[in-house]
Amino acid sequence: MIKFSIIIPVYNTAKYLEKCLNSIFKQKFSSFEVICIDDGSNDNSIEIIKKYNNVLLLKQNNSGSGYARNEGLKIAKGEYVLFIDSDDWVNIDYLNKINNSLKNNPDVLIFGALTYDGDILRKGNYSVNKIPKKYLNKTFNKNDFKKDIFKFPPTAWTKAYKKEFLIKNNIKFQNIKIGQDQIFFIKSMLLADKINVLNENIYCYQKKRKGSVTSIKKKTEFSPVDVFYEILKIEDENKKMILDKYFLKAAFWISKMRDDLKKEYCLEFEKILKIMKTDYKNDYYAFFNPKYYDSYLILKLKYIISKLKTKIPYLKDKILKF
């Protein structure tokens, strides 16, 4: 049986693709397959992939990396699945180190990533140093980390996943342009029986590549709202905390939207605001009233004020008692 299936969505990354693929085929560990899914590239990405005889190439119309990864999962033969973005690369001992960390047969293995801007190493949010040390030398699951879920890197490419675990729990990527791995991350962390951490940075992330979805300053996608609705379907004792994180992301997204889409986006945001006001009546949502023309700073101020208003009755009571 193949140990690892490496799934790589590709979209117009010809400039970076050889570095990515070479870093994989230079691995000393040999039990792996590479599945590239071309997401409708209009550069010479496909021609580059075809130079590698041992790469399985799938083609699709431009549908996003989430859809591409799901297609790769359908045909993956490996015991574990790894996801690599086509403008990133991995360390020479990437597969060996992952394989040596699977002795406990975890559902999810977490590792760290270094962040690069071109060839320059930058400070990033995906380093294993960001993970609380108490999780580094133990096997754990949601009963252990509880509210610490967002102290782990939320990306698909900082994990190795047992394929059987993903299939059994129907864990898939959302078919959206931005944040398609958020539900994948949340579900896998909440449903895994065994999670381990490989205490090394073995992945190299290329930050804000020109032309990438995440590098576009003005947003045209309603992705945070789409993620919010998927979280609503999850049953977990910490669901409110998770919902609130993505509710706020959706709120601050207002200031990032392209001007001609702000009104439409705000109408969609108001629908999830209504849900939070109904389900959590005594929280700050009742006082939170963002407008489509609000800047990030105004939205932040409105959030702080709404939080303070929820504490007014409590503060009055404390003052009277004093």
10 Å Cβ neighbour count for 248?
A: 15
CA atoms within 13 A on the CB side of 126: 22
Helices and strands of the chain, counted as H and E runs: 11, 9
Q: Provide the token pair at 204.
A: 């190299």
CA 58, CA 141: separation in Å to the nearest integer?
Answer: 34
DSSP-assigned letter for residue 236: -
Which residue type is seen at 134?
A: K
Give, in degrees to the nearest 5, the angle at Cα 128 between 124 and 132.
Answer: 110
- The answer to whether 251 touches 288, Cβ cutoff 8 Å, is yes
Residue ranges, comma separated, of all CATH 3.90.550.10 domains in the chain are 4-214
CATH topology of domain 4-214: Spore Coat Polysaccharide Biosynthesis Protein SpsA; Chain A (3.90.550)
Q: What is the pLDDT along the chain (322 residues), one digit of tens a residue?
A: 899 999 999 999 999 999 999 999 999 999 999 999 999 999 999 999 999 989 999 999 988 999 999 999 999 999 999 999 999 999 999 999 999 999 999 999 999 999 999 888 988 899 999 999 999 989 999 999 988 999 999 999 999 999 999 999 999 999 888 888 999 999 999 999 999 999 999 999 998 755 555 545 788 899 999 999 999 999 898 899 999 999 999 999 999 999 999 999 999 999 999 999 999 988 999 999 999 999 999 999 999 999 998 887 655 454 444 3
Nearest CA to 126 among 98, 88, 81, 79? 88
Model pTM?
0.91
